[in-house]
Structures are given as C-alpha cells and as structure tokens.
Amino acid sequence: MSKTALITGATSGFGAAAVRRFAAAGWKVIATGRRAERLAPFVDEFGSEAVHTAAFDIRDGDALNAAIDALPADFAGIDLLVNNAGLALGTAPAQQADLAQWQQMIDTNITALVTLTRRVLPTLIARKGAVINISSVAATYPYTGGNVYGGTKAFVKQFSLGLRSDLHGTGVRVTSIEPGMAQTEFTLVRTGGNQAASDALYGDAHPMTSEDIAEQIFYVATLPAHLNINRLEIMPVTQSFAGFQVARG
C-alpha cells in the first residue's frame, strides 16, 4: 500500500520538487500552500488519486484545521509530515528591522509549524510515521541580517530534537534538514521581489537546486525504519564559513 506525505510550501522551491519526487515514487501526496493555481498542476500531472491539494494560509489555524478535517479518506492516513513552508523577510540589522516582517517569520516558520505538527502527531504515532522539518544552516551559523530568520530556524532545529525525545518509543522518526544556499524563490521573497538581487546571489555560484533538497527529503523518508537521521546539514560546495568580526576604536 502506498504511503501518504503531507508537504507544506508545495507551490514553489523545495516543496514543489518534493511533491514531484514523492508522487513519482508512488506516494500519495497532500500538497499545501497559499497559491492554489500552483497546486492544481500537480493533480493534472499525477492524478487526483495520487495528489490532494489544499490551498490555505498556514498561519490561519482555523484554515489549517479545516484542511486536515476535509482530507478525503484516502489521504487521511498521513505517514510523513514535511514541514517545509517558510520564509525569510528582509536582511536589515535588528536595529533597523521591520517588526511586521519579524512577526510574519515567527508566525509562519514557528507557530504554524508547531500547530500543524501537533495536529498531525496522533496520526503519525498511530502509523509509526515521520516528521521532516526544514530548518537551515542559519539555525547554527549567524550572519548579519539573519537575526529573526536564523532564530526561527534554530527553533525548528531544536524543536525537532525535542520531538525526538518526546516521541521516544513510538517508532516515529524526526529529522531536521538544514540546507545552505539553494536557488528557489526564497531570495525573491526575502527582498520583496528583487530579481536582480536574487540573480546576483545565485549567479555563477552553483547553488543547490530544489531537486537536490527534494532528493535528500526522499532519502531521509525512505531509510530503513530502524534508522533516524537527527540532523542533516547540507551546503553547495561553493559555500562555506567566514570568520568572526571585530569592531575597533
């Protein structure tokens, strides 16, 4: 019998590639995101028996619960939750940052993620399923302007480890995947639609692709049931670390 994955943030980037990777491998997929017009093509491509779509703003707890309540029976047995929906907004230093942008990152990357996880956990426990949370290298390595975004991803990383602990003995697996630079709509969103900034960041840098990350998600999800990767940090070869900074005078 095919397994079922619920993948958030499926309208773009990692999430869209993951929907295709899992559906192509015979999984049933629940694909979510706000842009319904980006979800519909998955049904055209894979069929309504393979992909169920639910368009809602993940920050809206009522809409989230309604989408789970409305799952067709064929899709209600969720075996894998991929908490991928998320965003960075802005690169300003904290002292100049827009508080509304900080709030949106917290609401999306943290509050919505824990709300959906809490909602789906009983099903995952009943089915000895798995949670894959998309954190970031920004969870571990601070950079200027990363402030709240990095903080939200550090939460996701630590929440994942905490879930592992709480779910001890249930057979449910939990992994925090922590990617570095990957070319998606991430930078367009972060810069408010600045295509030149996005092109400048990724240009000639051989960043990771959405398919690279989808492949890692699929790999983690399809490991033998007795194995749990706790954290998976992954970067393009072209990206590494810089040193500390010192202010003088």
Subset of 154-183 contacting ligand 8X3 (CB under 6 A): 180-181
Other C-beta atoms within 10 Å of 247: how many?
4
Q: How far apart are CA 152 and CA 105, in angstroms?
A: 7
For residue 107, the 8-state DSSP code is I
Q: Which does 87 bind (CB under 5 to 8 A by kind): ligand 8X3, ligand NDP, none?
A: ligand NDP
**Closest CB to ligand 8X3 among residues 91, 115:** 91
184 binds, among ligand 8X3, ligand NDP, none (CB under 5 to 8 A by kind): ligand NDP
Helices (H) and strands (E) in the chain, counts: 9, 7
Query: Which residue lies nearest ligand NDP, judged by its C-beta?
Result: 13
Q: How many residues bind ligand NDP (CB under 6 A)?
A: 28
Burial level of 124, CB count in 10 A (0-12/13-18/19+)?
A: buried
59 binds ligand NDP (CB under 6 A): yes
Q: How far apart are CA 212 and CA 85, in angstroms?
A: 17
Instruction: Check residue 5 for interaction with ligand NDP (CB under 6 A).
Output: no
Q: Is 85 in the site for ligand NDP (CB under 6 A)?
A: yes
149 catalytic? Reply is yes
Q: How far is CA 112 from CA 8, 129, 152, 230, in A?
A: 10, 20, 12, 21
Binding test (CB under 6 A) with ligand 8X3, winner from 18, 55, 120, 137: 137
Place of tokens 């033998």: 224
Q: What's the token pair of residue 131?
A: 């949670």
Q: Are 234 and 208 in contact (CB under 8 A)?
A: yes
Site for ligand 8X3 contains 145 (CB under 6 A): no
Residues designated catalytic: 149
List contacts with ligand NDP (CB under 6 A): 9-15, 33-35, 38, 57-59, 84-87, 108, 134, 136, 179, 181-182, 184-186, 189
